[in-house]
Structure 1
Amino acid sequence: MQADHNIILNHEQIQHKVKRIAYQIYESNVNEKEVIIAGIAENGYVFAQRLASILENISDCQVTLCKVTMNKKSPHNTIQTSITPEQYKNKSLVLADDVLNSGTALVYGVKHFLDVPLTRFKTAVLVNRNHKKYPVKADFKGISLSTSLHEHIVVQFGEEDIAILK
Structure 2
Amino acid sequence: MSHTCNHPIVKRKWSPEEDRILMKQIKETGPLMWDQIARHIPGRSGKQCKERWITVLDPNINRQDWSAEEDSRLLKFHKMYGNKWATISSHMKGRSSISVKNRFKFLKRHSARRIRTFGYDPLEQQETQESPAPEICFEMIELPAHMRIRLF
TM-score normalised over the length of structure 1: 0.21
Bigger helix fraction? 2
Bigger strand fraction? 1
Query: Relative CO higher for 1 or 2, CA cutoff 8 Å, sep ≥ 6?
Result: 1
The structure with more radius of gyration:
2
TM-score normalised over the length of structure 2: 0.23
